[in-house]
Amino acid sequence: MIINVSEAKTNLSKLIDRAFMGEEVIIAKNNLPLVDLIPHKQKGKRKLGTLAGTFSVPDDFDEEVSEINTLFYGNEV
């Protein structure tokens, strides 16, 4: 199916559903085909833990710093 940009804007969610179900959807401008609407394909499984051991969180990571509090709140703290 070839559909013009203006009509594609109006019916985008329907076109996405049709492309996802396997139908060929081509978006055109002035009847000149520009792009194919195709379903996304995963590149592969994500590998978790790839940065394990490359950095460490300091023990005082979540402690407040008075200098930063002064910058945000002034001398009220």
Number of domain units in the chain: 1
Within a domain: 20: yes
Note the pLDDT of residue 76. Answer: 66
3-class SS at 65? coil
Q: Which two tokens stand for residue 76?
A: 């009220």
Helix (H) or strand (E) holding 32: strand 32-37
The pLDDT score that the predictor gives to residue 53 is 86
Whole-number pLDDT of residue 43: 85
pLDDT per residue, tens digit, the chain (77 aa), is 999 999 999 999 999 999 999 999 999 999 899 999 999 988 888 888 888 889 888 898 899 988 898 999 987 65
What integer pLDDT is reported at residue 3 of this predicted model? 94
Q: Which domain holds residue 10?
A: 2-37
In a domain, 15, yes or no: yes
Say how far apart CA 33 and CA 29 lie, in whole Å.
7
pLDDT, residue 56, reads 87
